[in-house]
Amino acid sequence: MKFFVDTADVSEISDLNDTGLLDGVTTNPSLIMKSGRDIMEVTREICAIVDGPVSAEVTAIDFDGMLKEAAVLAKIADNICIKLPLTMDGLKACKHLTSDGHKTNVTLCFSANQALLAAKAGATFISPFIGRLDDINIEGMDLIAEIRTIYDNYDFKTEILAASIRTANHVKQAALYGADVATIPPATLRSLVKHPLTDKGLEAFLADWQKTGQKIV
């Protein structure tokens, strides 16, 4: 499974990228607002940090407007992935952009039918929102499983990018259900490494090592 980090915080992205675990970044208008930065400036910095795809989202809701904004975003860097809403105009823009060789991420997916349309439009990534479905008492992971089955049935190349991830369990379940990518908030990504037995074991090893009086030099 690929790990993307879902943030526009450059310091967080840089720190996580140094671990070697990061495969890409996703942003959206809300994350850009939270960063307090200019979208072009911060996106350019992010693209310089990571080698993988960086999703930058259009804000236009009509086809012509999406293409106009996509042209601007695509000039930022070669690893830009144009993020588009799952609407008819968004799908039309997706088809146009992928035909021109651009990576695309179709976002705000909440049904298997929507994911099927995105794959038909040639999307590089489809972003089903797990947490937001859970919020309204619909099992988000069921959607991941449905999309996986449909894509495998027809050998669609669109990658399932599990989004709106809230917990470490979301990451594990998305991996078990076959999502290709998980885009994860920085704090949640860091939490994946934590386990009380790891901490306890390390504490015991270090205590025993100290008693030996040795050093590794």
Is residue 172 annotated as part of the catalytic site, yes or no?
Answer: no
* Torsion angle, alpha carbons of 15, 106, 153, 157, to 10: -60
| Rounded Cα gap, residues 84 and 113, in angstroms | 17
- What percent of the residues of the chain are helix, what percent strand, and what percent coil, each to the nearest 5? 50, 20, 30
Do 147 and 160 form a contact (C-beta atoms < 8 A)? yes
Q: Which of 2, 34, 68, 83 is catalytic?
A: 83
Among all residues, which ones are annotated catalytic? 83
